[in-house]
Amino acid sequence: MRAADLPDARFRVGDRVRVRAAYPPGHIRTPFYLRGRTGRVIGVHGAFPNPERLAWGEDGLPPIPLYEVVFAMAAVWQGDGAYGARDSLAADIYEHWLEEAAT
C-alpha cells in the first residue's frame, strides 16, 4: 500500500523515524531490541486494530497505521562490528510506537 492511499498516516515512505524507548508491561508487539533505534519507513501496510488492545480483550479501535521500517544492522546490534554497511533488518511497527527522528 502506498502512503498516499492512507491519508491519515503520520509517516511516509522515506521518512526517518525512531522507535519509542518505552517499556510498558503487558503484550507488546514492538521488539525490545528496536526500542530507541532509528530507521527509515520503506512501506505502509494499511491501518489495523491495535494488537496491544486486542490482547486485553478490547476492540483495538480506532485502527492505526502499520509501517515497514528498515534499520541498519550496525545500529541495532552495536558491538563487534560484524555487520557491513549494507546489512539491514526490517520490521513492522505500529504508528503509536514511532516518532520523528532528527535528520
Q: CA-CA distance, 75 to 37, in Å (whole number)?
A: 7
Q: Are 61 and 34 in contact (CB under 8 A)?
A: no
- pLDDT tens-digit profile of 36-53? 999 999 999 999 998 888
User: What are the sequence ranges of the domains in the chain?
Assistant: 3-100
User: In the structure, what pLDDT confidence band is assigned to residue 7 with cuts at 50, 70 and 90?
Assistant: low
Residue 30 DSSP symbol: S
pTM of the predicted model as reported, rounded to 2 decimal places: 0.86
Q: Please check the confidence at residue 76 and state whether its pLDDT lies above 50.
A: yes
- pLDDT tens-digit profile of 60-72? 899 999 999 999 9
Q: Please check the confidence at residue 2 and state whether its pLDDT lies above 90.
A: no
Is 3-100 CATH 3.40.250.10? no
Q: Please check the confidence at residue 1 and state whether its pLDDT lies above 50.
A: no
